[in-house]
Structure 1
Amino acid sequence: MDFSLSEEQEAIRDGVKRVTDSFDDEYWSRCDQEKTFPTEFHKAMADGGWLGITMPEELGGANLGVTEAAIMMNTVSRSAGGYSAASTIHLNLFGPHAVVVFGNDEQKERMLEPLIAGTDRACFGVTEPDAGLDTTSITTFATKVPGGYRVTGRKIWTSSGQVANKIVLLTRTTPKDQCKKPTDGMTLFYTDLDKSQIEVRRIPKMGRNAVDSNATFIDDYFIPDEDRIGEEGKGFHYILHSLNPERILVGIEAVGLGQGALERAAQYARERKVFGRYIGANQGIQHPLAESWAQLESAYWMIMRAASLYDQGKPCGAEANAGKFLGGRAAFDSCTRAVMTFGGMGYSTEYQVERLFRESILLRIAPITEQLILSFIAEKVLDLPKSY
Structure 2
Amino acid sequence: MTGIGTLPDTTEQADLREMVRDVISRYAPPERVRELDEASAFDLELYRALGEAGLIALDAQVDGSAGADPRNQIIVLEELAAGPTSMAVCLVVQYMGVGLLTEYGTELHRSTVLAPLLDGSERVSFALTEPDGGTDVARVMRTRARRTDEGGWILDGAKTWISGPQHAANLIVLARTSVSERSPIDGITMFLVPTDTPGITVRELDTFAIHSLDTCEVTFQGVKVDGTAVLGEVDRGFRQVLGTLNGERLNAAAAALGIARGALEAAVDYGRQRQVFGRPVGSFQVGQHRLVDGAIQIEAARALMLQAADATATGARVDILSAMAKVAASDAAVDITDAGMRLMGGSGFSKEYPMERLFRDARLYTFAPLTNEMLRNHIGEKHLGLPRSF
Report the TM range for the smaller structure's normalisation.
over 0.9
**Conservation of the 8 A alpha-carbon contact between 2:249 and 2:326:** yes
Contact 2:40–2:211 under 8 Å retained in 1: yes
Stretch of structure 1 that moved more, 323-332 or 129-138: 129-138
Question: Which residue number in structure 2 is paired with residue 86 of structure 1?
Answer: 88
Residues 317-370 of structure 1 show CA distances to partners (whole Å, capped at 9, x for unaligned) of 100000000000001111111111111111111112101101011111111001
Asked whether the 8 Å contact 2:143–2:176 carries over to 1, the reply is: yes
Shift of 1:179: 3.1
The change in CA–CA distance for 1:87 and 1:247 in structure 2 (over 3 A counts) is same
Q: Could you tell me which of 138, 145, 159 is aligned with 1:142?
A: 145
How far 1:103 moved relative to its partner? Answer: 2.2
Identity %: 29
In structure 2, the partner of 1:75 is 79
How many angstroms does 1:107 deviate by? 2.3
Asked whether the 8 Å contact 2:193–2:225 carries over to 1, the reply is yes
Which runs of 5 or more structure 1 residues have no equivalent in the other structure? Answer: none
- Structure 1 residue 255, shift from structure 2 partner: 0.5
Q: Which residue of structure 2 aligns with residue 217 of structure 1?
A: 219
Cα displacement (A) at 1:21: 1.2
Tell me if structure 2 keeps the 8 A contact 1:254–1:360.
yes
| 1:11 alignment partner in structure 2 | 15
Query: Partner residue of 1:108?
Result: 110
Q: How far off its partner does 1:153 sit?
A: 0.2
Aligned residues: 381
TM-score normalised by length of structure 1: 0.95
| Pair 1:51-2:56 in alignment | yes
Residue equivalent to 1:267: 269
Mark the CA change 1:319 to 1:54 in structure 2 (over 3 Å): closer, same or farther.
farther
- Separation of aligned partners in 2, 1:293 and 1:39: 33
After superposition, the Cα gap between the structure-2 partners of 1:134 and 1:97, relative to the gap in structure 1 and judged at 3 Å, is same
Instruction: Determine the C-alpha separation between the residues in 1 that align with 2:209 and 2:105.
Output: 35
Aligned to 2:121: 119
TM-score, normalised relative to structure 2: 0.94
Deviations 1:108-129 (A, max 9, x none): 2222101012222111100001
The answer on whether the counterparts of 2:62 and 2:102 sit within 8 Å (CA) in structure 1 is no
Contact 2:68/2:99 (CA < 8 Å) preserved in 1? no
For 2:273 and 2:200, the matched residues in 1 are separated by 52
The Cα RMSD (Å) is 1.6
Tell me which residue corresponds to 2:3: none
Q: Relative to structure 1, is the Cα distance of residues 195 and 337 closer, same or farther in structure 2, using a 3 angstrom cutoff? A: farther
Q: 1:63 Cα shift?
A: 4.4
Alpha-carbon distance change, 54 to 316 in structure 1, aligned in 2, over 3 angstroms: farther
Which residue of the partner structure matches residue 248 of structure 2? 246
Amino acid at match of 2:210: R
Partner in structure 2 of residue 208 of structure 1: 210
- The answer as to whether partners of 1:96 and 1:168 remain within 8 angstroms in 2 is no
What is the match of residue 321 of structure 1?
Answer: 323
Query: Alpha-carbon deviations, 1:197-238, whole Å to 9, x = none?
Result: 311101101111110100111101011111101221000111
What does 1:1-388 align with in structure 2 at a 5 Å threshold?
4-22=8-26, 23-53=28-58, 55-56=60-61, 63-78=67-82, 80-81=83-84, 83-136=85-138, 137-145=140-148, 146-175=150-179, 178-194=180-196, 197-388=199-390
Judge which range, 261-270 or 378-387, deviates more.
Answer: 378-387
Do 1:140 and 1:153's aligned partners in 2 also have CA atoms closer than 8 Å? yes
Counterpart contact for 1:199–1:218, Cα < 8 Å: yes
Amino acid at match of 1:339: M
CA displacement, residues 147-182 of structure 1 (integer Å, 9 cap, x when unaligned): 31000000001111111121010000013xx43221
- What SS class does the counterpart of residue 50 from structure 1 fall into? coil
Amino acid at match of 1:31: L
For the 8 Å contact 1:98–1:241, the answer to whether it is kept is: no
SS of the aligned residue for 1:284 comes to helix
Deviations 1:226-255 (A, max 9, x none): 110122100011101201110111101101
Between the aligned partners of 1:294 and 1:148, the Cα distance in structure 2 is 54
Identify unmatched segments of 5+ residues in structure 2: 1-6
**Contact (CA 8 Å) 2:189, 2:236: kept in 1 or not?**
yes
SS at match of 1:315: coil
Asked if the contact 1:53–1:62 (Cα under 8 Å) also holds between the matched residues in 2, the reply is no
After TM superposition, the runs of 4+ consecutive aligned structure 1 residues lying more than 4 A away are: none
Task: Provide the rounded CA distance (Å) in 2 between the counterparts of 1:195 and 1:233.
Answer: 22
How far residue 36 of structure 1 moved from its aligned partner, in angstroms, is 0.9
| C-alpha contact (below 8 Å) 1:150/1:220 kept by paired residues | yes
